[in-house]
A and B are shown apart, each in its own frame.
Chain A
């Protein structure tokens, strides 16, 4: 979806920057960070539709970051970038609640396709969430403030 906000997390700065440019070329709003900790603080500061997370990073790795993201309880979907040899870790990531994974190096078109899929899922979740809140509003108008949480 044009204008979707993407958080790109990869310790390889050149790769992260290049990817960000490529996605921006495709009309996404991209923020690139280079480690898990920065990703968490970025997520705390701003809202993102999709997080693209590298699995293998020094310090806080992809799985640990994913766990923290899930703890934040944000309305966001996560895509994992993995090497071919760490399929097991990717499977673990999906179990933890990631949307999907891609093996590195990947084609930009494949990434875009997955991002779109993730966005749709996030959007569906947002719609359900909203519907619930609206229903609540109809039932008890005092919960109008919840909409702005």
Chain B
């Protein structure tokens, strides 16, 4: 496994990770945020409208109260004028009586007077000295003479304090007289000025000329012009709400409605920030929840994706490992076929060599050879031919056995014999590296039911590793021990070498796929992992003991019979 392909794989998984995250985001976060923001915006607009409607309703409610107050007083004056004649009203004490009656419950009227059609006071009751005043030049006198009933704007008049009057004109015996009363300004102002609209709210009345009819808590005296008032552009009876910039530069919401009579504008304004505080709070809270949910989804997505990618990685690794195992098994099978072919081909000439030798031997016995030196050499040569032919025979038999074992079969295995064969196969290679085999085989070792071809693969692998572990040493010993398991349930085979051993840090990873201490390209790192899976499949155990620098011992525990499913497969 080169580092290059390793980094490519890593890049592939990173890409996969990013793609998963991206797709999950598109599928979950985008709709969530889209829906969340849309609902939020919609809700905010709705909540603002509701808040403004509430303000309008309040303003309308106060308009009705003010109008009711004014109408009540107008009606009261009208009633007095209709039920009394001028002569009875100007009688001594009569007006005083009426004023007292009117003001019995609360002080509503400041003064009351009777004025004739020339503007002269006929009678007057009140705190001011107005009995000799002539009103023919005043605005309200003209208006009441014309309309019959009239409520004035706030004005200073003869008393030089802001007040407004109500007057009713009556005709009696062809002449006109007027009942005029001043409404208690403080009482009227309290109707408006006592209304509270939060901390930043103002509510006031403006007449059609744009003069304050009530004073403002936040500055703005009575009778002074209201800023930004553009006159009666569109008198409307329904309250109208709009946003504007206040004197302090802050945004304010203004709601205004016109009174029926007099034509005064009731204006309520409140700081936008204060008015929409609740809306803004709900808005922010919902956005916080929304983004918190998005964050949780993001975190969960990352965690799930990481887990999924790691599962995929593991599966990929398993598939790769399996493919390599298959490849290895395929390779072993083709080696097996090749060996069988070679062994058969060699067997025939070998058989002929052996018969030729036998013929020579037969001939020699019948012939009379007198040359002793020749006879000795002849016999030695025939003997050597015999030894070498037997050796060849031995080799071809080993090869054929190996070939047979590349098929997967469960059969009786004499492990001692098996070990001897494996040693035979490996001895030559080991000898050239200066390594000696020592076999300590238990004579009474029971035969086991197992798969000889797979066992062979395991032993060849372990012995190969053992030989390679001696690379840095001039010579070494590989000791193979067989013994019955203590509980007689199987056998234990130990392959011990005197090689470089295994580093402590590597002990845990030694059976992991792709773990290798060999330089890149020299080992797949699969040998021991395959051994591990084979031994496990055969119902056995494999573990390792090692001391770095002194060697390692692989201990295989094999059961007398493999697990049931293997027997059925076999």
Q: CA of A21 to CA of B363 in the docked complex: distance in angstroms?
A: 10
Minimum CB distance partner of A12 in chain B:
B348
Rounded to whole Å, the gap between the CB of A111 and the closest CB of chain B is: 10
Chain A residues in 8 Å Cβ range of B397: 84
Minimum CB distance partner of A19 in chain B:
B355
A18 with B347: CB separation less than 8 A: no
Q: Say whether B265 faces chain A, with CB atoms less than 8 Å apart.
A: no
Main secondary structure of the interface of B (DSSP, over half): helix
Chain A residues in 8 Å Cβ range of B359: 18, 21-22, 25
Q: Say whether A105 faces chain B, with CB atoms less than 8 Å apart.
A: yes
Contact partner of A12 among B343, B351, B356, B403, CB < 8 A? B351
- Residue-wise, chain B 328-344 has the 8 Å CB interface mask toward A (1 for contact) of 00000000000010011
With known contacts A83-B400, A84-B400, A18–B355 Cβ distance under 8 A: yes
B344 with A14: CB separation less than 8 A: no
Q: Say whether B280 faces chain A, with CB atoms less than 8 Å apart.
A: no
- Residue-wise, chain A 60-94 has the 8 Å CB interface mask toward B (1 for contact) of 00000000000000000000000111000000000
A105 with B350: CB separation less than 8 A: yes
Q: CA of A84 to CA of B339 in the docked complex: distance in angstroms?
A: 12
Number of chain B interface residues as a range: 20 to 34
Q: CA of A65 to CA of B144 in the docked complex: distance in angstroms?
A: 150
Chain B residues in 8 Å Cβ range of A84: 343, 347, 396-397, 400-401
- Residue-wise, chain B 347-370 has the 8 Å CB interface mask toward A (1 for contact) of 110111111101100100000000
A83 with B355: CB separation less than 8 A: no
Q: CA of A104 to CA of B403 in the docked complex: distance in angstroms?
A: 17
Q: Say whether B263 faces chain A, with CB atoms less than 8 Å apart.
A: no
Q: CA of A85 to CA of B340 in the docked complex: distance in angstroms?
A: 7
Minimum CB distance partner of B341 in chain A:
A85
B352 with A83: CB separation less than 8 A: no
- Residue-wise, chain A 1-33 has the 8 Å CB interface mask toward B (1 for contact) of 000000000001011001101100100000000
Minimum CB distance partner of B344 in chain A:
A83
Minimum CB distance partner of A26 in chain B:
B362
With known contacts A84-B343, A85-B343, A108-B358, A15–B404 Cβ distance under 8 A: no
Task: Show the binding face of A for B, using Cβ within 8 Å.
Answer: 12, 14-15, 18-19, 21-22, 25, 56, 83-85, 104-108
What are 9 sample pairs from A and B whose C-beta atoms fall under 8 A apart? A15-B348, A18-B356, A18-B358, A22-B359, A83-B343, A83-B347, A85-B403, A85-B404, A108-B358
